[in-house]
C-alpha cells in the first residue's frame, strides 16, 4: 500500500476516531474502560483515542518510511511511504475478530484466539508496526484507542521474542548440522 503523505493518513485516522467518539457521545456518552473490569481502578476514557491513534499512526508511518528509505537509493529521498498491506490487513482482521467476539459475549473463544498470534509468530513477523496499526484500528470500536495499544504491545513483544528465539535457534541448528 503506497501512501504519498503522512498527513492524509493521520487525518483519516483522526477523523475515524472522531466519528466513533461522536457516535458514542450521541448514544449515551463516551465509554470509559476500567483495567481488569474493576470500577475501583481509574478509568480510561475513549476520548484518549483522539490523542493515541493519530500518534500511533504517525509513528507507524514514520517507521515504514524509514524502512523504505533504507532499501532505496540514498541519493533520491522520497516522500512515498510503503506499508506492508498484508500485515496491516492481518492485524485489522485479527482486531475485528477480537472485537466482534467480545461484543457477542464469546469469551470462551477469545481465550484461545488470543494465542493465535503466538502460534503464528515462528513463521510470520507479527511484530511489524503495520500489524499494530491494523490491530488497534480493528479493536477501536469495542475497546477505544488506548487498551488495544497496550494489548498490541504485549502480544507483539512476546511474538517478537518467539520469532527471534525460534528463528535464531533454527539457523544455529542448520549451521551446526550442515
List pLDDT tens digits, range 27-77.
888 888 787 777 888 888 888 889 999 999 999 988 888 877 776 655 455
Lookup: cell for 103: 461484543
Taking residue 54's Cβ as centre, other Cβ atoms within 10 Å add up to: 19
pLDDT at 75: 47
What is the mean predicted confidence (pLDDT) over 139-151?
88
pLDDT score recorded for residue 19: 92
User: Which of 141, 115, 171 lies closest to 22 in space, CA to CA?
Assistant: 141
Task: Grade residue 149 by pLDDT with cuts at 50, 70 and 90.
Answer: very high
Read off the pLDDT of residues 15-25 as tens digits, 9 standing for 90 and up: 999 998 998 89
Which triple of cell numbers denotes residue 27? Answer: 448514544
Strands (E), the chain: 2-3, 32-33, 44-45, 81-82
How large is the average pLDDT for residues 146-169? Answer: 89
> Taking 90 as the threshold, does the pLDDT of residue 92 lie above it?
yes
Question: Which residue has better confidence, 41 or 12?
Answer: 12
Determine the pLDDT at residue 79.
Answer: 52
Which ranges constitute the DSSP H helices of the chain? 6-26, 49-71, 85-103, 107-113, 116-120, 129-143, 147-176
What is the mean predicted confidence (pLDDT) over 121-134? 88
Whether the per-residue pLDDT at 119 is higher than 70: the answer is: yes
The larger pLDDT score, comparing residue 143 to residue 76, is at: 143
CA atoms of 102 and 168, how far apart (whole Å): 36
* Residue (of 122, 64, 124, 68) closest to 94 by Cα position: 124
The pLDDT, as a whole number, for residue 154 is 93
25: phi then psi, degrees, rounded to nearest 5: -60, -45
Task: Break the chain into its structural domains and give their ranges.
Answer: 2-176
End-to-end Cα spacing for the chain: 39
Amino acid at each position: 500500500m503506497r501512501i504519498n503523505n503522512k498527513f492524509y493518513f493521520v487525518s483519516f485516522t483522526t477523523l475515524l476516531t472522531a466519528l466513533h467518539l461522536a457516535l458514542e457521545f450521541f448514544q449515551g456518552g463516551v465509554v470509559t474502560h476500567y483495567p481488569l473490569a474493576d470500577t475501583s481502578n481509574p478509568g480510561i476514557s475513549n476520548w484518549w483515542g483522539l490523542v493515541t491513534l493519530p500518534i500511533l499512526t504517525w509513528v507507524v508511518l514514520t517507521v515504514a518510511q524509514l524502512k523504505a528509505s533504507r532499501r532505496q537509493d540514498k541519493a533520491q529521498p522520497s516522500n512515498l511511504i510503503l506499508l506492508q498491506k498484508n500485515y496491516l490487513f492481518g492485524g485489522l482482521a485479527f482486531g475485528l475478530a477480537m472485537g466482534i467476539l467480545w461484543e457477542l459475549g464469546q469469551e470462551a473463544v477469545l481465550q484461545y484466539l488470543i494465542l493465535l498470534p503466538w502460534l503464528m509468530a515462528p513463521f510470520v513477523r507479527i511484530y511489524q508496526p503495520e500489524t499494530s496499526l491494523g490491530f488497534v484500528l480493528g479493536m477501536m470500536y469495542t475497546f477505544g484507542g488506548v487498551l488495544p495499544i497496550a494489548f498490541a504491545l504485549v502480544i507483539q513483544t512476546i511474538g517478537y521474542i518467539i520469532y527471534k528465539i525460534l528463528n535464531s535457534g533454527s539457523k544455529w541448528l542448520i549451521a551446526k548440522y550442515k
